[in-house]
Amino acid sequence: MNMRKSLILIALFTAPLVCTAETWTNAPLVDANCAAKVKNTPDVHTRNCALQCSKNGFGILTQDGTFLKFDSHGNQQALSELKNSHANDHLRVTVAGDREGDTIKVKSLKM
C-alpha cells in the first residue's frame, strides 16, 4: 500500500514537468532578421529574403504578433522547406514542438 501511495505522489508532482507538444497551423514563417519589419504584414515577406537572411534563424509569427524562434533543428527544417518551395511569398507552415519561452523545440515542420 505504501508503494502505491508513493507512486501516486510521484506522478502528481512530476506531471507538470511533462511537456506536451503544441501545434501552430498555417503560421507565417519569417527569418529572425525580418520578424519585426513584417509583423503586421507577414505574407509580403518573400522566400528570397528569407533565404538571404537564413543565417539569423527562423521562426513563426503567432496570431497576436509574437515571434517564436526555432531551435537549431527547426532552423534546418525551415531552410530545407524553403529551398524546396516554389512559393514566392505567403510563406506558411505547420509546426509541432515544445515551446520554451520564446523558442520552439521543433519536432516537425511542413510548408
8 Å CB contact between 32 and 59: yes
Query: Percentage of residues in the chain with pLDDT exceeding 70?
Result: 83
Q: What is the pLDDT of residue 57?
A: 98
The pLDDT value given to residue 67: 98
Does pLDDT of 54 surpass 70? yes
**pTM, rounded to two decimals:** 0.81
pLDDT confidence bin for 20, thresholds 50/70/90: confident
Position with higher pLDDT, 9 vs 38: 38
What is the average pLDDT score of the chain?
Answer: 90
| Secondary structure (H, E, C), the chain | CHHHHHHHHHHHHHHHHCCCCEEEEEEEEEECCCCCCCCCCHHHCCHHHHHHCHHHCEEEECCCCCEEEECHHHHHHHHHHHHHCCCCCCCEEEEEEEEECCEEEEEEEEC
